Structure formats: C-alpha cells, structure tokens
Amino acid sequence: MKNYRTSIFVVLSLVILLNGQSSFVARAGAESKVHIVYLGEKQHDDPAFVTESHHQMLWSLLGTKEDAHDSMVYSYRHGFSGFAAKLTDSQAKKIADLPEVVHVTPDSFYELATTRTWDYLGLSAAYPKNLLNDTNMGEEVIIGIVDTGVWPESEVFSENGIGPVPKHWKGGCEPGENFSSSHCNKKLIGAKYFINAFLAENEEFNSTESLDFISPRDFDGHGTHVATIAGGSVLPSISYKGLAGGTVRGGAPRARIAMYKACWYLDDFDITTCSSADLLKAMDEAIHDGVDVLSLSIGNRVPYYPETDVRNGIATGAFHAVLKGITVVCSGGNSGPAAQTVGNIAPWILTVAATTLDRSFPTPITLGNNKVILGQAMYTGQELGFTSLVYPEDPGNSNESFSGTCESLLINSNLTMAGKVVLCFTTIKRHSAVSSAARYVKRAGGLGVIVARNPGDALSPCVDDFPCVAVDYELGTNILLYIRSSGSPVVKLQPSRTLVGQPVATKVADFSSRGPNSVFPAILKPDIAAPGVSILAATSTTNTSLNDRGFIMLSGTSMAAPVISGVAALLKARHRDWSPAAIRSAIVTTAWRTDPFGERIIAEGSPRKLADPFDYGGGLVNPEKAAKPGLVYDLGIEDYVAYMCSVGYNESAISQLVGKGTVCSNPRPSVLDFNLPSITIPNLKEEVSLTRIVTNVGPVDSVYKVAVEPPLGVQVTVTPQTLVFNSATKKVSFKVKVSTTHKINTGYDFGSLTWSDSVHNVTIPLSVRTQILQNYYDEN
C-alpha cells in the first residue's frame, strides 16, 4: 500500500495533513459509488496493521471514524495493499492525488464465460506410469476457484479415499444462507463469499427475496461446474439424458477445492455479474489461504484495460498471486470468432481458448424421399414418425416478417405450425436461436423444429426435450428444396446418438475469443486451448435442465479454463519448485498443433480455416508431454518489471506495484525480449533481433538443436543453432533475427521455432506482421 517502511508515524502524519484540508470532505448530497484505491505491493506483513492504515486514510479523507467505517467496503491486505470504499467523484480525485496511491478507479463488473475430456487428452488413470498416478492425482495441491459458489452436496466433492488437508492450507469455511462449516470436508476444504461491493452498487437488491444464496452456496451452477472440471472426484456411470455416458472426474481428481464466491445473480435482469472489488477481495483471500492454482472463468469485453489499471481487477490480483508462486488460469472469453476479442491478456495469466472434443451428437433427419440428413442435437425423446414438414413463408407477401427466419416465428401466428415440424433459418450464431425457435414452435402447437444456421458447436437440449435439430445452411437449403418440390413434404426425427473418436474432427469453437492481443499485440493471447464444448460436469440442483444426479453439459471458455487449471495442479504436484511461468511454458511448448490423432485442427468461423496461434496459442494441451518439457522459458519479477518498462508504464506505478523502487533503463527494454514461450512481432519493417532464455529441466547433460518453420515471406536466423547444457550450465540464451522480404503491409503469417534433443521437442509459435506503411509514418 503506502510507504510504511518507517513506522505508523507516517500514517498518523498523513492523517493530520489531510484533516487540515477541509476540501477533502464531501459536499452533502454528492453521490457515493464504490471505488477501488490500489496501493501496490503491501509494505508490512501484519494484515491488521495494513487494514488500520486503510481506515486511517479514509478517516483523514472523510473526517470521522464513523464515516470511514461506513465507507469502507473491503481492505485488501494479504496479496497486495488497497481498499474498496464508497466515495464521491471529488473524494476519489483527492485521494488519487496522494503520491502513495497507484490508482483510484470506479468499480467495474465482469461476466461469466460459460467426461470424455481426459481420455481425449490422454490423461487416463488406466496406465500405471503417467502424470495422474505419479502425482497421486494432485492430492497435495489446492485449486482456488473464483466463481458463483459451490453445491457442496454434489458427489464430485466426496472425500472418500482422500488424505488429511495439506499443511499449507490456512483458509476455512464461511457460514451463510443454507451453508455451514459442516459442508466442507477434506475435498472441499474452503468456501467463502464476497458480496459487499455488489450490494453497494445494487442498493435495490433484496437479499431476502433473491433466488441466490447469501453464502458460498451456488445458485447459478456455473461455479460447481467449473470446480468439477478442475478437480472433481472420480464418479463412474454418469450421463446427461442418456448421452455422453461414462466416468466424470476433474483433471486433478484428488486435488483440494477452495471456492471463493464473488459472482451474484440479479433476479430482475436474469444475469450473473461479478464486481471487480469483490473479485479482488476473493483473490486477496485466496493468496492468504495458500492456494496453489487460481482458476477464474470470468471476463469482460473489449475495450480491455491495461494490466496496471485497477479496473482490470483480475490482472491486478493475478500479478500479486503469480509473484507468490500461484499459477493463475483464466478463460479467454466467448466473443469469437472475431479477431482481437481475447480477454484476460496480462502476460502473467495463463489464458485459455476452447476447442471441441472428438465427440458429436448426430441426429438423423429422414425426409419423405428417403434421403437421410445428419443434424446435430441433444434430443433424447421418442422418435417422431413421419410428420408434415413446413417452411413458414408467404410467397405472395414481400414483407420480411414472412421470410422464413427463426426470429419471425413469434409474429407469424397466422401461419399453421400446429402438428408439424418447422424449418427456419437464422443468422444468429448462439444456440439461443435454436432454443427460442423451439419455444415459438411449441407454443404454436408444432411438434419439432429444424434450424439452419452458421456452423457452430454449442448444443443444449430444448425445453422439455422438445425436438430441435441444428443443420448448416447447405443442409437447410437441401431440406427447403425438398419442401418446395414436394406436394406433401414429411419428415422423421430420430433421437440423437453419441459418436466418439474418429471421424469426428477437433475444432476451435466458434465462440472462442481470438487474438491478436488488442492492448499489446506483441504478447500472444490466448496461450493454450483445451476442450470447452459440451462438457459434462456437476451443477447446482436449482438448475432444472439436468438429470437426477445433478449433472449438465455446458459450453464456453469457462469450461476450457478449468481443464488447464487441473493440468497445472498436476504439474505443480510433480514439480513443486516450478514457477507459474515455468508451468505455463511447459503447457505451451508441448501442446499438440494437430488433434491427438494427428489430424489438422480447424478454427470455426466464416469461413472455417486452419487454426493458428491467434485461435489456440501454442495448440491443444498435451498433459503427459507437459510433465516432461525438457526446457522452459521462465520468468521472474525482474522480467515482469522489464516488461512494464518496455510497454511504457511509469516508474512510480511499477515501483508501487512490485513493492520496491524501480528505474527503467534508458533506452527502455524491447517488449520483444520478454521471455515468453512465443514470439509475436506485430510491426516488422525490415529486420529485428530479439533474445530468449531457456532453462533445462530435463536430463542434466543435454544438447538441443534448432529447427525453424518460418512464416511466409519471413527469414528467421537463430544463433547459436545448438544449445549445450550440463551441471554447470542450466540456462542458455539465444538470439533470433527476423527479416521480411515483403514490400507491402501484410496480415499475420505464422511459423514455429523448435529446440529438440531427439526426445523433447520444445516448440514456440512465431507470428509476424509486416507493416511498411505504418513504420514509414512513424519515422516521418
């Protein structure tokens, strides 16, 4: 927080100084809102001392202890220093002018980013010698989840067969509505909730009437689902409405779960939202409690804030967590397939994209001419025998409301849909278009709906298991041509089936947010991809779309992030001395750039294309390979300081962020030298050189040789071309010279750089854009 290096006298002097300035007192009637006062790295190890200094600062601003107490929302005192308080704009400006304050910003809000997975990724307990068994399934690791809470009765939180709670755990279980300390056990070892900022910003919120629980208990179900994926216990014979049956477990099934509820349901708007101030407090507590991995399936939308802006609360909390050895994993967002939409872009965060599994749910559609078309659905009801098929159009009416779009079904009440299956077309990408069309058709007495839409991957059953099948535009047009050519078109709909393995292709999901990074494009985001489509996991039993055992399928980067959290937990269990950067490097450099069967990974979108680093970072996570990466690209506090200097942050802000004086070099370092397991050059004119350092974590005596796949039109030279490691040499640097033969501005082209010792292949992605014109204007 402030500079406490001398004594409490500094704080008391500040109190006297501020009390002498009456302009700090708010005018009566001014509106107070929650602001976050961020003071950087804490300067004292006693949390009570830190909190008292926060109160003293507010007291000096507001004039009385009582006003200071009423204003204070949170004191951040474990991982970093700062506080959230209700302040007027003028009060916020005054306190922001203090030299000890890094930032004062209004509170902001985030949104949620919402079986087969582990077999698909090759992480199976069936083999005696693998990462799962080598780490006892992560039993000594604690995964902290910041989300909507937890449903403690779920079977995935069973403590059967799990040993004592790890000794480094310092947290606990916080009682509240329908939740007591007895709900925690040796599996679910901690649960806390953070609602003060949410309540301060939503004064109309009625806690007694709200559907949500004012406790760690999960109403939404999202937090329970995420926790299951990361570290849920092993449960055999789980299915969802008869589909996708099998064993459900988390990535680290014996890891301990600690839930930090910071996201709350707003009944009036039917949304779940997360205050930045609540999120920061949850992360602060998680740092104190001793979590090893912190998982957040939460984000916001473009435009994004820089990392040192406290409005980017996740980045701020994550920075302090990483400095204390905690790996922070975040979802990349669900704003794809548009470029530059990826979120959680701080370089100390492990940011995750979503792919499909090798699983689909083909649903036969049989037309009256006996032609069978395979749609996609999660329909598990009875077969619907041959039934009249209709396309809702009026050939004599040019009004667009009769265009046959799914959205027009609600207003086309004069069209006869009763007793029929309806075909409609939509340009809306989300599955909500399918479920909405099903509601409209069912309300009109229809028996089923076929929705033609952009190819997509997100599926869910329609209400009451109403027959709703999705097809692409080509198949939809074929069905429409049949309807128009037949005097009495009919169709038969059969229940969906589960198809696993080849020939089902792996794809980057249409919704998964894409790079490049919109704030600092030289920092590659996302870092990695993991399955996030139709993932089966536990949920709260307040959710009605589930089977009797409390499991549901959900899609989103929310589901992909905890996959990586589970893998990170296993890596932490195996390599307790690895830093978060080393864990990230191991995951990125060993990833599959094909699917596990060697087939190409396609990125969904319009049009589909071969996936590249802006779709999936290093590729699809390969847990077994990540356990033995050979080399890692590591980072420490000095590297993060150099990064912040390179992108132009002022020295005062950096000093307070890291808790020690910082002077940036002159000239400032190049961001291209930041030791990431990737190289991204957004503005190459002619030639640039950069440096990377690799650390040997494999056999002591190792020799690695380089292999480069250069991007199109780009020349890449690596010096030296051989790296030699021994007992005296554990770290080696190398230089990369990159030049372009392009004479025009280009888009990004992609390649890779691999160090290999014939056993380990340590691969990083190369992404290069030639910008002749931009650099010309910069220089002239």
Is the preceding omega at residue 682 within 30 degrees of 0, hence cis?
Answer: no
| pLDDT (0 to 100) of residue 457 | 57
Contacts by residues 461-465 (CB-CB < 8 Å, ≥ 24 positions apart): 461/241, 461/377, 461/378, 461/379, 461/380, 461/545, 462/379, 462/434, 462/435, 462/438, 463/435, 463/438, 463/439, 465/241, 465/379, 465/380, 465/381
Q: Which of 582, 578, 589 is nearest to 762 (CA)?
A: 589
Beta-bridge mates of residue 493 = 365, 384
Mean pLDDT of 714-739: 97
Could you tell me the end-to-end alpha-carbon distance of the chain, in angstroms, rounded to an integer?
43
Q: CA dihedral in degrees (326, 627, 248, 274; nearest 10)? A: 20
- DSSP assigned state of 157: G
| pLDDT (0 to 100) of residue 629 | 98
| pLDDT (0 to 100) of residue 536 | 84
As a whole number of Å, the CA-based R_g of the chain is 28
**Helix-helix angle 313-323:637-646, to 10 degrees:** 150
| Measured distance CA(664)–CA(315) in Å, rounded | 21
CA angle 25, 27, 31 (to 5 degrees): 110
Active centre residues (catalytic): 147, 222, 558
Is the preceding omega at residue 667 within 30 degrees of 0, hence cis?
Answer: yes
CA angle 281, 282, 287 (to 5 degrees): 95
- DSSP assigned state of 402: G
Mean pLDDT of 360-371: 91
Query: pTM of the entire structure?
Result: 0.87
Mean pLDDT of 491-505: 82
| Measured distance CA(111)–CA(273) in Å, rounded | 5
Strand positions, DSSP E, 27-95: 33-38, 72-76, 82-87
Q: Which residue has the higher pLDDT, 111 or 736?
A: 736
Q: Which of 495, 447, 540 is nearest to 215 (CA)?
A: 540
Sequence-distant (6+) residues with CB within 8 A of 358 are 116, 120, 500, 501, 502, 504, 505, 506, 595, 596, 597
| Measured distance CA(402)–CA(396) in Å, rounded | 10
What strand order describes the sheet that includes 298-299? 263-266, 271-275, 109-112, 298-299
CB 287 within 8 A of CB 79: yes
**How do beta strands 384-390 and 421-425 pair?**
parallel
pLDDT of residue 338 exceeding 60: yes
| pLDDT (0 to 100) of residue 409 | 82
| pLDDT (0 to 100) of residue 487 | 87
| Measured distance CA(564)–CA(732) in Å, rounded | 28
Q: Above pLDDT 90, what percent of the chain?
A: 57
Residue listed under structure tokens 């790079």: 515
The tokens for 125 are 């307990």
Tell me: the pLDDT tens digits for 278-333? 999 999 999 999 999 999 999 887 777 776 665 678 998 999 999 999 999 999 99
Tell me: the pLDDT tens digits for 58-86? 988 888 888 888 899 999 988 888 899 99
| pLDDT (0 to 100) of residue 385 | 94
pLDDT of residue 269 exceeding 80: yes
Plot region of 779 (φ>0 → left; ψ -120 to 50 → alpha; else → beta) = alpha
Helices and strands (H, E) in the chain, number of each type: 19, 40
| Measured distance CA(59)–CA(69) in Å, rounded | 8
Q: Distance from CA of residue 604 to its chain's centroid?
A: 19
At residue 9 the predicted structure's pLDDT band, cuts being 50, 70 and 90, is: very low
Tell me: the pLDDT tens digits for 404-433? 788 888 776 556 788 999 999 988 766 677
CB 110 within 8 A of CB 301: no
| Measured distance CA(149)–CA(226) in Å, rounded | 10
pLDDT of residue 247 exceeding 80: no
| Measured distance CA(356)–CA(348) in Å, rounded | 26
